Amino acid sequence: MMDTVIVGGGIVGLFTAYYLQKKGIKVTIIDKGNFTESCSTGNAGMIVPSHIVPLASPGMISKGIGWMFSSKSPFYIHPRLDKELIKWCYYFYKASNVSQVSKAVPVLKDFSLQSKALYLDFQTEHAQLDFSLQPKGLLMLYQSKAAEVEETAFASLAQKSGLNAEILSKEEAQKLEPNQELNIRGALYFPDDAHLDPAKLYGLLKTVLIDSGVRLIPETVVTGFEKWGRKVNKIISDKGSFTCNNLIICTGAWSGALAKNLGFTLPMIGGKGYSFLQPNLSNLKQATILTEAKVTQSPYADFVRFGGTMEISKPNTEINLNRVQGIFSSIQKYYPGLSVVFPEKKAIWSGIRPCSPDGMPYIGPAPGYDNVWVGAGHSMMGVSLAPATGKMLTDLLVGKKVDPVLHHMLFDVDRYNK
């Protein structure tokens, strides 16, 4: 029996393999990297059912235009004459409206809650594995009146959608972070969110897959496909060819290029983010978003990870120190007593988030094929949504009926081909 081949060894690809092998399906994962570091390993590690509004939303365009004039801002599009970028920006503009967001909110909420439940199941099933899953919720700290108005409105939307959301005073937020002074006006708290160590999770999940017989093929670049009718039967690479029973594309920001090779359109662009570690000397407790700065803070026992920025550029992992400086300079604005040291360049992590124009992932069958599937385009939600994505792709592949509320048309892989 030929293997189901997953191209892409990030967290979405690994969780898809995890659920496939539980169904007794033979799986091979091919990746251009070495299965040690990816966009899945150095991010904030947040599991966020609270993130019910996609990146493409009302107000993002005007904010983005303002941010583009600062090299240290949270969001930046590197201007260039690029047909794919222009097309992506046009689709982003079309999707940034109230109607589109109102459709997305319940879908993202239900999908995220399922993903969190699957994380808890995974933790229970593999209780011997420690990937620092901490169900302590998420604090969104704000300093300005304008941010307070926005966060209060967001809390109301979340509550109407069935999520737990609380507006906290400075004093109430301080009780959740007792070891470090907070310089804030207030906070929004989502008690049902969580965070984990993404590098630990990635390494442990990889070990589980290897132990279960999943084959990992590193440092192999897919260059083409051999097709027969409505099926792909062979994957061509720089290391030879691989026959397959089914093909699943989970290559993140590079998925659009593979889709083009297969003959369909999958608008995708890379959004670079940065992060760095600091010793957790003040014993920070709470996973946090510094709202105005769009910076994340994820604490663990011995260290804390700070991250942020969305730099729309050609996929590469080059370090722009101005972007990192923007993250660094915001930290003491919110934590005035926190001792932080600007990291050495070699200690800075960067990863490329796969961004669809409407902020919704592509999950499901590829147009024109009977044995090709896609799981990509999760933007900043890759770790958060990976289990639910892998479970859904597995259910679709084996023909199991999937809840239509979860497998919504907003995830349709074919939506930009119509």
Q: Which of 95-104, 296-305, 355-364, 399-408 has the lowest mean pLDDT?
A: 399-408
Residue 222, beta-bridge partner list: 237
- Does the pLDDT of residue 226 top 80, yes or no? yes
Split at pLDDT 50, 70, 90, the class of 68 is low
Q: Are 385 and 362 in contact (CB under 8 A)?
A: no
What's the average model confidence in pLDDT over 8-15? 97
Is there a contact between 246 and 371 (Cβ–Cβ < 8 Å)?
yes
pLDDT higher than threshold 60 for residue 407: yes
Asked if the model's pLDDT at residue 405 lies above 70, the reply is: no
Which of 7-16, 51-60, 149-158, 263-272 comes out lowest in average pLDDT? 51-60
- The residue ranking higher by pLDDT, 404 or 242, is 242
Instruction: Tell me if 288 sits within 8 A of 308, measured CB to CB.
Output: no
Of 65-74, 126-135, 399-408, the range with the lowest mean pLDDT is: 65-74
Split at pLDDT 50, 70, 90, the class of 309 is confident
Pick the residue with more confidence: 326 or 142?
142
Residue 132 has pLDDT above 70, yes or no: yes
Q: Is 50 helix (H, G, I), strand (E, B) or coil?
A: coil
- Separation of alpha carbons 17 and 11, rounded Å: 10
Helix axes 98-125, 382-397, angle to 10 degrees: 80
Q: Give me the pLDDT at residue 383, please.
A: 96
- For residue 69, is pLDDT > 70? no
Model's pTM, two decimal places?
Answer: 0.95
At residue 75, the pLDDT reads 73
Average pLDDT over residues 115-130: 94
The answer for residues whose C-beta is within 8 angstroms of residue 360's C-beta and 6 or more apart is 54, 104, 107, 108, 377, 410, 411
Q: Give pLDDT, residue 60.
A: 60
Average pLDDT, the chain: 91
Give, in order, the Cα–Cα distances in Å from 298 to each of 129, 132, 160, 330, 415: 20, 11, 27, 15, 35
Domains of the chain (ranges; CATH) run 61-96+133-192+269-355 (3.30.9.10)
Alpha helices by DSSP H, 126-246: 145-160, 170-176, 198-211
pLDDT(79) > 90: no
Query: What tens digit of pLDDT does each residue of 334-393 get?
Result: 999 999 999 999 999 999 999 999 999 999 999 999 999 999 999 999 999 999 999 999
pLDDT band at 37 (very low <50, low <70, confident <90, very high): confident
